[in-house]
């Protein structure tokens, strides 16, 4: 894994969470959800300081579900991060400036189940005040509480194209995708 971009050498690694991030409400998120999801890519992290794991995602979004601010993403059932989400029932979705793209993609390149990727990745882990894990380099952190895990069943979809996509994905790995819904508990942005 390459070194961090040079702009990261600003002494911020020594700073505490509350020196780096400020709390905002979900209504104050001013990023475009399509850009965040499809171009920036969320890094989803679950676990606690002694053991945590991250993966990259590219689908999903956020909005209101049963009147609660909620995020959603689609994770393959065998992702190690999903296992940790189920165990802890909390997780973060972190979004990074473009200069950290390489690190973001690295977290999506191999599983933490059988690698040391969390030690190898050139990012600085940080604990939120609630004890969830993210990274000091993130510019937006959304903390979530797991509310719903739903299996993508091809029978529930109408376009044939989507049914085919879900069946193809199933054949590839022998596991289905899970829709993961999480109530937004905190939103943090870089100061
Ligand atoms: C850009 C990008 C987007 C990805 N999007 C998803 C996704 O939406 N859902 C998913 O299950 N895996 C997705 N992946 C794959 C996982 O990030 C990858 O398999 C990762 O190694 C899983 O890590 P884990 O087993 O440690 O949780 C994506 C990977 C990349 C590089």
For ligand 1, atom 4, name the residue with the nearest CA.
Answer: 57
Distance (Å, whole) CA 108 – CA 96 = 14
Q: Is the CB of 168 under 6 A from ligand 1?
A: no
DSSP codes, 113-126: TSS-HHHHSS--EE
pLDDT tens digits for range 82-103: 999 999 999 999 999 999 999 9
Question: pTM score > 0.85 for this model?
Answer: yes
Distance (Å, whole) CA 71 – CA 33 = 11
In a domain, 167, yes or no: yes
Per the structure, the count of domains in the chain is 1
In a domain, 9, yes or no: no
Mutate which of 55, 72, 76, 92 for ligand 1? The one with the most ligand atoms within 8 Å of its CB, which is: 55
In angstroms, what is the C-alpha Rg of the chain? Answer: 17
In a domain, 56, yes or no: yes
In a domain, 1, yes or no: no
Cβ density class 30-59: b for 16+ within 10 Å, e for less: eeeeeebbeebbbbbbbbeeeebbbbbbee
SS3 67: coil
pLDDT of the residue at 28: 98
In a domain, 4, yes or no: no
User: Is residue 4 very low, low, confident or very high in pLDDT (cuts 50, 70, 90)?
Assistant: low
Please indicate whether residue 147 or residue 154 has the higher confidence score (pLDDT).
147
Task: Give the domain range for residue 147.
Answer: 14-190
What CATH number is associated with residue 50? Answer: 2.30.110.10
In a domain, 7, yes or no: no
User: Is residue 149 very low, low, confident or very high in pLDDT (cuts 50, 70, 90)?
Assistant: very high
């Amino acid at each position: 894994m390459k070194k961090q971009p040079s702009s990261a050498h600003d002494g911020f690694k020594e700073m505490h969470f509350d020196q780096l991030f400020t709390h905002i409400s979900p209504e104050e998120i001013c990023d475009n959800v399509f850009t965040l999801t499809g171009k920036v890519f969320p890094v989803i992290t679950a676990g606690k300081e002694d053991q945590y794991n991250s993966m990259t995602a590219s689908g999903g979004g956020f909005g209101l579900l049963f009147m609660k601010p909620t995020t959603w993403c689609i994770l393959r059932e065998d992702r190690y991060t999903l296992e940790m989400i189920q165990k802890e029932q909390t997780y973060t979705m972190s979004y990074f400036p473009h200069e950290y793209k390489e690190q973001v993609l690295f977290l999506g390149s191999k599983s933490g189940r059988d690698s040391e990727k969390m030690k190898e990745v050139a990012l600085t882990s940080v604990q939120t005040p609630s004890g969830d894990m993210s990274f000091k380099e993130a510019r937006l952190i959304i903390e979530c509480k797991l509310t719903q895990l739903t299996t993508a069943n091809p029978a529930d979809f109408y376009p044939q194209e989507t049914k085919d996509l879900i069946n193809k994905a199933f054949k590839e790995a022998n596991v289905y995708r899970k829709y993961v819904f999480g109530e937004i508990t905190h939103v943090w942005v870089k100061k």
